[in-house]
Each structure stands twice: as structure tokens, then as C-alpha cells.
Amino acid sequence: MSAPVLQRPAPVRAGRVLPFPVTGQEVVLLVVVAVLWVALAAATPAFATEGSIVPLLVAMTPIALIGIGMTVVIVTGGIDVSVGSIVMVCAVVVAKALVGSGIGLPAAVGLGMVVGAALGLVNGALIAFGRVQAIIITFGTLNLFRFAGLQVFGSATVEGIPATLAPFGRGDEGRTLGVPHSFVVLLVVAALAWAYLRHTPGGRHFFAIGGDQDAARLAGIRVRSRIVLGYVLTGLLAGVAACFVIAQGTSSLAASVGSGLELSVIAAVVIGGTSITGGRGSVLGTLLGALLVQTVRTGVTQLGWPSQLSDLFVGVFIIVAVGADLLRQRRRPGRRRGTT
């Protein structure tokens, strides 16, 4: 091997090794959420109580959890609009297992994870190996999975679900010292994902793939397996989220579960600063995005406004968040995306 290239010892400068973990957009989101909370607490004193905050946190966990997986998928330049159907399939399978076989909580969650991961694998394989746009494939699997779920459902609802999953629910079994378990699970998963994405080669490779898939392949990255992994992860998290949804519901599960969920997830991810074109994104942003969306929903209800108005605000937030991101991108000199 040739001698090392350097001729003189270079001083190792102390200081920041990686870029600061929190981006400007995330700080803004945090501030916006904080402002909203303060404003809501002032407008309706009922908001600032445990009785309001905890259900808010619990309600946001399924979206945020799936959002973690969706962040990875979108960072690689893909998308998954079938997550709503994945949740539905996992929910019905787990619910039936709870009712029919009386399995315990760990088994239920495990079952959800396995089914979700399997469905995610279908997505990933079709997209990575079929080389078709993710949006089309997942539009297709959205229907296929829903069909499969409805087959498992048999009748319109699953009745008599035991409270096995209550530790993930809204009630008292769902919290310890006032902190909801599902939220803790979310934080743990988010922390693991954040560490993985930031500190492991595999995690960084997701960003490389989203930035320039060909350059990534040339650099020796296993592009296909990374892409498949992203979808499998999303499916797996959707399976866990399905358990949360069951826990947060009643003892009967309707076949409409998960319908339209994918849009909320994508909204949370996009508001959080992840770029839909790939290469950029963060788990923290997605969490804040989901928190913002849920805050808006809860706030609107608490203020007595028509609950559908929350969707309008979500739409506006999406525009503002993505618009801000677009403006930031314009200022970059070295970037030469397709010119118009």
C-alpha cells in the first residue's frame, strides 16, 4: 500500500463534530407548538390539565410512530400511501387473536410487528426490484392490503376485544406516574431511530440514497436492501401502531380503521421538515409535526369549534412548513435541480 498522503501533521480542531442535531425548522416548530399550548391554556383552562395533555400525547403516538418509518422511506426518495391499510390488517389480525386465542400483550405486539413487517416487505420488494414509482405501487397495495384485511374481518366489526392492550391506552392502566406508556414507547423508538440515522453508516446511507441514488450505488452502498429495509421498518411500526389504536379504541373494532391514516402521517412528516424529494429529514421533526397536528385537533375541539376545521389548519401548516423549506433551498448556490 502506498504511504499515507499527508505531509505535515494537521491540527485537530476541537468543537462540533457533527452538525447541530436540531435544525432551524424544528426549533420553529417547537416554538409554534409551545405558543399554541400557551394560547390554548389561556383560552380554555381545561387544556392545561393532565386530563387534556395526556390524551393528546396518547392520540398522537400512532401517527408519530408510523411517521418515524415514513420519514426513512421519504428520505430515500420514496413514499408509502398504504400504511393505513397496513394498520387495518394488523389491527384486525391482532384483535382476532386477542378475542379468539386470548394472547398476551407481548405476543399481540409481536404479532402486529410480524404482520406489518411482512406487508412492508411486499411493498419494498415491489418497489426496489420492480423499479416502479413508489407512489403507484403503494396505491395498489393500499387496495390489496385492504382486501386482505376485509377478508380477515369477515363481518363488519370485531367485537368483544379484551383489555389486554390497555397499558397502551388512554385510561389509568395506560400510564405510570401520569406519563402514558405509549408515549414512552414512542420516545424510545424515536431515540433509537434518531441514533441509528445519525450515528451508523447504514443510517447515513438512507440520506445518500435519497440525495443521489446513482452516486450512492457507485459509492458501494447496497441501495436495494436499504430501500426494502425502509418499507419493512414502516410496516413494522404500523403494526405496533395498530396495537396502540386498538388500545385507544373501544372493545369493538370497525373495518374502517386506518382509513385515511396515511395522509396524517405524510402531513406530520412533511410539516416536520422532511423533504418530499428525499435526502433530507429528521425524526425529531416528524415527532414535532405529529405533535403540532394533534395539538391543532385537540385545540379545535376544546375551543368548541367545529372539529373539521382542524383539517383546514393542518393544510395551512403544510403549506407554510414546506414553503419555508423551499425558500431555504432556493438560497443554496451549489444545488442544480431541474431548472424551469
Complex with other proteins: residue 35 or 136, whichever CB lies closer: 136
For residue 158, what are the β-bridge partners? 253
Site residues for other proteins, 311-330, by CB under 8 A, read: 311-312, 314-316, 318-319, 322-323, 326
The span from the CA of 119 to the CA of 189, in Å, is: 20
Site residues for other proteins, 118-137, by CB under 8 A, read: 126, 130-133, 135-137
CB atoms within 10 A of CB 113: 20
Per-residue mark of binding to other proteins, 2-41 (x: CB under 8 A):
xxxxxx--xxxx--xxxx----------------------
Q: How far is the CB of 227 from other proteins (least distance, A)?
A: 15
Q: Give yes or no for a contact between 86 and 69, defined as CB atoms under 8 angstroms apart.
A: no
| Nearest Cα residue to 158 out of 80, 97, 82 | 97
Q: How far is the CB of 218 from other proteins (least distance, A)?
A: 5
Choose the binding region for other proteins from 57-65, 88-96, 171-179, 274-282 (rule: CB under 8 A).
274-282
Note whether 284 binds other proteins by CB under 8 A.
Answer: no
DSSP E strand boundaries for the chain: 157-158, 175-176, 179-180, 253-254
The span from the CA of 168 to the CA of 165, in Å, is: 6
Choose the binding region for other proteins from 27-35, 42-50, 145-153, 167-175 (rule: CB under 8 A).
145-153
Amino acid identity of residue 79, one-letter, is I
Note whether 260 binds other proteins by CB under 8 A.
Answer: yes
Site residues for other proteins, 188-207, by CB under 8 A, read: 199-201, 204-205, 207
For residue 253, what are the β-bridge partners? 158
Site residues for other proteins, 34-93, by CB under 8 A, read: 79
